[in-house]
Amino acid sequence: MSSQTLPGSIPNLIFELKGDFEHSLEYDSDQIYEQTGGILQKILYRDIDTIKVQYIPYDHHNEPVQTSILKFEVGGWRIQDTDYDYSQTKYYYGSNYIISKETSIDTIMEYPDYVNSKEIVIVDETNMDDVVCMGCLEDQPNQLAHIGPNGCLGDYDI
């Protein structure tokens, strides 16, 4: 058992795409990425019944780094708690908005409610009708789904 591997029952709990993992085997970050597209950044703590792991659910540069505590209980591993770090994404997240980090404070003050333009996106997270990116609306894990007209990654020609 290595400190930078996970038991096969854990990757399918924490990563968006599911892989074909043997529960009795250990998997490293390369093996996990190959099957799930998720990034295992670091195992922060591990003992017989607790694992604290830092990861990105899938390889998409707008996803937050997640830190989860998993506990082994009757029936297997369970996620006990998860924290989200949005500092590496291109958006700031609030309780009722998402705003591009490229936006000036003057623009933010000018549009306190909902704005949808290339410079700023503020979205009421409780109302998915405000989201215009088809990749986000369909919860698509691949970057290509988030590119194009109204895409959150830009309107690049593909």
Tens of pLDDT, residues 48-91: 999 999 998 887 667 788 999 999 999 899 999 998 887 777 66
Q: Rounded to two decimals, what is the model's pTM?
A: 0.59
Q: Does 77 lie in the same domain as 28?
A: yes
Q: Does 108 lie in the same domain as 139?
A: yes
Tell whether the model's pLDDT for residue 6 goes beyond 90: yes
Q: Does 130 lie in the same domain as 74?
A: no
Q: Does 103 lie in the same domain as 81?
A: no
* pLDDT confidence band for 97 (50 / 70 / 90): low
- Report yes or no on 156 lying in a domain: no
Contact in structure between 19 and 35 (CB atoms under 8 Å): yes
The chain-wide mean pLDDT, for the chain, equals 75
Of 34, 52, 85, the residue at which a domain comes to its end is 85
Q: Does 75 lie in the same domain as 132?
A: no
* pLDDT confidence band for 141 (50 / 70 / 90): confident
- Report yes or no on 66 lying in a domain: yes
Q: Does 65 lie in the same domain as 22?
A: yes
- Report yes or no on 138 lying in a domain: yes
Whole-number Å distance between alpha carbons of 74 and 65: 28
* pLDDT confidence band for 46 (50 / 70 / 90): very high
- Report yes or no on 1 lying in a domain: no
Phi then psi dihedrals of residue 81, to 5 deg = -160, 150
Q: Does 98 lie in the same domain as 46?
A: no
**Residue whose token pair is 């709990």:** 13
- Report yes or no on 68 lying in a domain: yes
Contact in structure between 29 and 4 (CB atoms under 8 Å): yes
Q: Does 126 lie in the same domain as 98?
A: yes
Of 85, 107, 127, the residue at which a domain comes to its end is 85
Q: Does 68 lie in the same domain as 24?
A: yes
Q: Does 99 lie in the same domain as 81?
A: no
- Find the radius of gyration of the CA atoms of the chain: 18
Mean pLDDT of the region 13-21: 85
3-class SS shares of the chain: helix, strand, coil, % to 5: 20, 30, 50
Q: Does 23 lie in the same domain as 43?
A: yes
The pLDDT value recorded for residue 28 is: 93
The domain tally of the chain equals: 2
Q: What residues make up the domain containing 14?
A: 6-85
Q: State the DSSP code for 22.
A: -
Q: By CB neighbour count within 10 A (0-12 exposed, 13-18 middle, 19+ buried), where does 105 fall?
A: exposed
Q: Does 29 lie in the same domain as 13?
A: yes
